[in-house]
Structure 1
Amino acid sequence: MALTMVQILTLLSEHNLLIEKHPGKITPEKFTHVTYDSRQVQPETLFFCKGNFKPSYLQQAKAKGAAAYVAETAYAEGAELTGLIVTNVQQAMSLLGAAYYDFPQNKLFITGITGTKGKTTTAYFAHSIEDAVTTGKTALFSTIDRIVGPKPEQRFKSDLTTPESLDLFHDMAAAVANGMTHLVMEVSSQAFKKDRVYGLKYDLGIFLNISPDHIGRNEHPTFADYLYCKEQLLRNSKQVIINAESQHFAEIYAAAKGSLLDDQIYLYARKNLLISFETQVDFEFEETKQDLKESAIAINTYSQKGERLELDGGYQLGIPGDYNQENAVAAVIASALAGADAAQIKEYLPAVRVPGRMEVFPTKEHGTIYVDYAHNYASLKSLLKFLREQTQDERLIVLTGSTGDKGISRRSGLGQAISEEADVAILTTDDPATEDPLQIAQEIAEHIDQKRIEVQIILDRKTAVKKAIMMSKPNEIVVLAGKGRDATQKVNGKLLSYETDAKLAADISKEI
C-alpha cells in the first residue's frame, strides 16, 4: 500500500481542505506508511498531528523517519519536513487513510448502525445472519468485537465503538484481504462528531432510536448536537432503515427525506403503534411469544417496496426482551437488503447470541442472574421493565455503576430507571477513569427514591457482584448491568484486568 503526493494534494484540494504546502528539505513523492502515533513512525511515513497533540510528538516522528506531516498549523518541530497545512486534520486523515488503503469500502457491502441503545444487539443479529448466508464472508466492527476474517486470530476485542479513521480503513482493508464481502458496523455519534468516518458512504444505514446520552464536557454539548451527529448516518447512506417508534421521529425522517428518495427509506414499527405524524410504515411487527428465555414475532408488510423483500411471517428469537424484538426486525430487513431471503433469516436468527447481552445464569438457592451491558436510562429502563413484567411479585436487585469522564448525564438516568423499576440497588465501580468512583455512585444515588429503594454502595465490583447474588432469594432477579463481558476496568488512567460480570456470575452460580 502506498500514497503519492499527487493523490494527497488532489484529494485535499477537491475537498477544500488544503491551506498551503510547506516545502521540506526533500519533497517526498510517495508514502509507504501512515499513522497518527509517533511511536509507529518508520521511514516514508505520512504523519498526522491530531487530537491532544504535543509538538514533541512531531519531533519524535521526524527522528524516526517521517517524510511529511499533516496538521492544522505549521510546527517548528517539523522543520525540514514537508508540511501539509489543512483546515481539518481529522477530515484529511479519513480521506487520505481511505486512499492509502485503496478505498476498501468500495469492495464491501457496508451496513452502518446507530442509535442510543440496541446497536450491538442489532449488529450481532445482522452479522450472524449475513455471515451464514455469505459462508463466513461478513466482517463485524462492534463495541464488543472486531471480526476481519473467518479465522480465530482474525477476531479482536474492540477499544472504541467506531475507531479512528486510519484504524477503521486498516481493518476494512484487512477484511477485504481476508475475502470478506460484507461488513456490519456500529457507528457512534462521536464518529461523526470527530470526523472518524468523514467521506464514508454506507450501502445501508440503520437508525434505531434516540434519547439523551453522551452529553457532557468531553462529548456532545447538547442533545441537539447529539441528534445532529446521529442523523449524519442517514445523510451518508444509499438506503436506510428507520425505527418509526423512535423519539424525534419527525426530525429523523426529515433528515432521511432530505437526502434520499421514498424507495430508499424503509420504516418499521410495532403493530398499531401511534406514530408522531401521519405516515405509512413499510413493516409492522407484533409479539407472538415472550418469556424469560426467548421470544417470537410476526412481520407484516404494508408497501410495494417492502413486499419485494418477501419477509412476511413468523420469526423466532433466542434472546428475550421485547426491546430486542425491535432490534431483530431491523436486522431482518437489513439482512434481506444485503441479499438474504426469509427462509435463511428464519433459519439463522434463533441461534444468535450476543456476548454480555441478556445472558442468563440460574442458581439453585438464590435468584436468577441476568448480565447485560445496559448503561444508560433507555437501555436499563427497557431491561428492568421487561423483567418486572415477567416477575411482578418478586424483588428485582440491580447492580450498576457509571463511567467517568464521559456520559455524565447517564448517572441521573440510571438512578431514574432504578427508581422506576427496581427494589434494591447496589452501586459499584464501572470505568471511573480519572474520577472518584464513590462520587459517581453518590451522584447516581441522588436520583434514586431511597424511601422505596434499598441502596448500598460497594466500590469493589467483584465484592458487589457476590453481595447482589447472595442477598437474593429463589425466584428473585439479579441484574448485573453495565460491564457484560468487558474484561477490563479503566481506573486512574490505567487499564486493569477484570474477570467480567459474566464470568463472576457463572462461577458463583455453580457454587450456590
Structure 2
Amino acid sequence: MSLKISQAIEILEQHNLLVSSKVTDPEKVVTNISYNSKEDQTNGIFFCKGINFKPDYLKQAQQAGAVIYVAEEAFDEDTDNLIVSDASKALAVLSAAYFGYPDRDLFIIAFTGTKGKTTTSYFIYDILKEIYPQKVALFSTIDRIVGPNPEDEFKSDLTTPESLDLYRDMRRAVDNGMTHLVMEVSSQAYKKNRVYGLTFDIGGFLNITPDHIGKNEHPTYADYLYCKKQLLVNSKINIINRDTNDFETVYDAAKQTSSTDQIYLFGRDQTKSDLDFLLTSKEATLKDSIFTVSAVSDKAKTLQVAGDYKLGLVGDFNEVNATAAILATGLVKIPVTNIYDGLQGAHVPGRMEHIITKDHGIIFVDYAHNYASMKALLGFLRREYPGSKIKVIVGSPGDKGISRRSGFSKVLTELADSAILTTDDPGFEDPADICRQIDEKIDHDKVSTKIILDREEAIREMITTSQSGDIIVLAAKGDDPYQKTKGIDVPYPTDSVVAKSVLRDIEGE
C-alpha cells in the first residue's frame, strides 16, 4: 500500500479539508500510515488526531520514521505537514486512498439501532453464507471476520472501527476473496467520522431510544438521533422499522438521498398504511420462534420474500431483527429457501443463550446492555414464564453510556423480582459507585437488590440461591472475554463459562 503526497493534497482539496501544506517533495510516496505513535512509522504519514493528542506523540512518530504529518495545527514547522480543518475526516479519506478504495470491491450492508444491530448483522451474515460461502466479511461489536481462515477472525475493540482500521480490514477482506461485507454502524462512527465518505449499498435503521448520552459520547438525544440517521443519508437503499421512535425524522433522512421506491418499511403495527411488510408472531418456544412476514405493498411483493420463517433464537424481539435481515438479503436476491435455512441455523455469540439446570431454574445469557434491549428481553421472559421469579445480574460500563444506569434502574423496577448489581467494564470509574447509582433509583419495594462487585462471585451467589422455576438473566456482558479496567483488558471467562462452572460444582455433570 502507498500514497503519493501530491495525491493526498488533491484528495484533501477535493473534500475542502486542506488549510495549508508544507511539502518538500510532492512526488514522494509514503508507504506507511498511522495515528498511533507507538507503531512503526517508517516512511509514513502520521495523523495528529483526538482531543487528548499531545505534541510528544508526534515526536515519537517522527523518531519511529514518520516523514510527514497531518494535523489541525502546525506542531513542528520544520517538518513536512498537511494542515487540515478536520483531522478525523482527513484520516478517513486518505485511508481509503492509501488502501486502494477496497469498499468499491465489496457489496456493503450496514445497520444501526439502539438495540438489535449486532443480532441483525449476524443474521444477514449467516444467510449470505448460504450462497456465498467463505465470501462474506463481518464487522460487528463482537467479532470481525475478514477471511475464511481462523486467523482472519478476531474480537472487535469497537462496534465500528476507526476509519484507518476499517479500510485496512476491508482491504484484507478483499485480498482474501470476500465479495460482501455486513457491518454495524454506531452513532459514534458518525460522531467521530469513522465512516466519513463511505456509501453503503443497503442501510438499515432498527430503532432509537436514549442511549450513549454523556460527557464522552453524545451531549444530547438530538445529537444521538442526528448521528444515527446519517447511515440512511449515506445508503443507496434503505430498510426502516416503521415502529421506531422518531419515525418521521428518520424517514425524512432516508428520502434525502433515496427515492421512496428504494425505501422499505416494515413493522408489527398493521394500522400503518405505509407499510411494505407486516411482521406477525405465530409461535415461540425455548428453542425457536415462528413468525410470518407478509408483503403489503406492490413494491414489497416484487421481493418475493413473504412467508413463514423459523428463527433459531428465542425472543419475539429477535423477530424484528430477523425481518430486517430477510429484507436485506431479499434485496441481494438470495432465494427464500436459503434465507429460511440461514435464519433457522443462525447463531449470535452471547445472545439469548439458555442453560437448563436440574434444580436452579433456567439461565439466560444475553448482551442486553441498555433500557430498550433489557426491556425487550425481560418483557419476553415475563410473558413466557408468568409464574417465575425473574432474577437479574447486571452492571454498567464506566466512562460512557451514563444514561444506561438510570435505564437499568427503571427496567429492573418494572420487570425484575430481584437483582445483583456487579462489575461490567468499569474503565476508570469505581464499579462500586456505578452500582450505587443504579441501586439508588430502584424501587426496593418491588425489587430486592444487593451489590457484589466480583462478577464471578455474583453469578455463583445468584445460581446457588435460586430454585426450580426461577429465571436467571446474566445481562449486558454476553460473550465478552474480558473486563475493561483502567485501560487494560483483564481476561474474564465469560458469563456462560462461569455459570456452567458453578453448575458443575453444585449439580455435577
TM-score, normalised by the number of residues in structure 2:
0.97
Kept in 1: contact 2:55–2:75 (CA 8 A)? yes
Give ranges in structure 2 of 5+ residues lacking alignment: none
Matches of residues 174-323 of structure 1 in structure 2 within 5 Å?
174-272=172-270, 274-275=271-272, 279-323=273-317
- Which amino acid letter does the alignment assign opposite residue 47 of structure 2? F
Query: After superposition, what is the alpha-carbon deviation per residue over 1:225-250, rounded to whole angstroms, capped at 9, x for unaligned?
Result: 00000000000000110000111111
Match of 1:422 in 2: 416
**Residue number in structure 1 paired with 2:10:** 10
> Residues 148-197 of structure 1: CA distance to partner in whole angstroms, max 9, x if unpaired?
01111110000000011000000000000000000000000000001010
Q: Conserved in 1, the CA contact under 8 Å of 2:243 and 2:269?
A: no
> Does 128-137 or 191-200 show the bigger shift?
128-137
SS of the residue corresponding to residue 207 of structure 2 reads: coil
Q: Counterparts of 1:316 and 1:271 in 2: how far apart (Å)?
A: 21
Can you list the C-alpha shifts for 1:349-375, whole angstroms capped at 9, x where unaligned?
A: 100011100000111011110000111
Q: Secondary structure of the equivalent of 2:235?
A: coil
Q: Aligned residue for 2:23?
A: 23
Please tell me the root mean square deviation across aligned C-alpha atoms, in Å.
Answer: 1.1
CA contact (8 A) 2:34 2:41 kept: no
Q: CA deviation at 1:44?
A: 1.4
Alpha-carbon deviation of 1:97?
A: 0.2
**1:471 offset after TM fit, Å?**
1.3
AA matched with 2:160:
T
Shift of 1:498: 0.7
Q: Give the residue type in structure 1 aligned to 2:11.
A: L
The aligned counterpart of 1:69 is: 69
CA contact (8 A) 2:19 2:83 kept: yes
Please state whether the residue corresponding to 1:39 is helix, strand or coil.
Answer: coil
Could you tell me which runs of 5 or more consecutive residues in structure 1 were left unpaired when the two chains were aligned. none
1:456, 1:379 → 2: CA distance? 22
TM-score, length of structure 1 as denominator length: 0.97
Task: Say how many residue pairs are matched.
Answer: 505
Amino acid at match of 1:122: T
CA contact (8 A) 1:487 1:497 kept: yes
1:57 aligns with 2:57: yes
CA offsets per residue over residues 202-242 of structure 1, 9 Å max, x none?
00001000000000000000000000000000000001100
Deviation at 1:28, TM superposition (A): 5.8
- The AA in structure 2 aligned to 1:201 is T
1:4–1:30 Cα contact (<8 Å) kept: yes
Three-state SS of the structure 1 residue aligned to 2:38 is helix
Is 1:45 aligned to residue 39 of structure 2?
A: no
SS in 1 for 2:210: coil
Matches within 5 A, 1:329-340: 329-340=323-334
Shift of 1:67: 1.3
Shift of 1:493: 2.6
AA matched with 1:488: Y
**Map of 1:152 onto structure 2:** 150
Matched residues in 2 for 1:497 and 1:84: separation?
41
**Per-residue deviation, residues 21-41 of structure 1 (Å, max 9, x unmatched):** 0235x6561111110011213
Deviation at 1:508, TM superposition (A): 2.3
The aligned counterpart of 2:460 is: 466
**How many angstroms does 1:292 deviate by?**
2.6
CA positional deviation for 1:492: 2.5
Q: Deviations over 1:109-138 (max 9, x none)?
A: 001110000011000000011122112201
SS of alignment partner, residue 20 of structure 1: strand
1:304 Cα shift? 2.3
**What residue is the counterpart of 1:140 in the other structure?**
138
CA contact 1:17–1:86 (8 Å) conserved in 2: yes
State the match for 1:102 in structure 2.
100
- Tell whether the 8 Å contact from 1:371 to 1:484 is kept in structure 2 after alignment: yes
Tell me how far apart the structure 1 counterparts of residues 503 and 231 of structure 2 sit (CA, whole Å). 42
Q: Contact 1:62–1:81 (CA<8 Å) still a contact in 2?
A: no
Equivalent residues of 1:271, 1:286 under 8 A apart: no
Q: CA deviation at 1:387?
A: 0.3
Contact 1:148 1:180 in 2 (8 A): yes
In structure 2, C-alpha distance between the alignment counterparts of 1:482 and 1:28, rounded to whole Å: 51
Asked whether the 8 Å contact 1:309–1:341 carries over to 2, the reply is: no
Given that residues 4 and 26 in structure 2 are in contact (C-alpha distance below 8 angstroms), is that contact kept between their aligned partners in structure 1? no
Q: Matched residues in 2 for 1:71 and 1:97: separation?
A: 15
Equivalent of residue 476 in structure 1, options 470, 473, 477: 470
Retained in 1: the 8 A contact 2:123–2:342? no
Q: Could you tell me the percent identity over the aligned residues?
A: 50
Query: What is the CA-CA distance between 1:57 and the residue it aligns to?
Result: 0.9
Separation in 2, partners of 1:133, 1:284: 26
1:271: how far off? 4.9
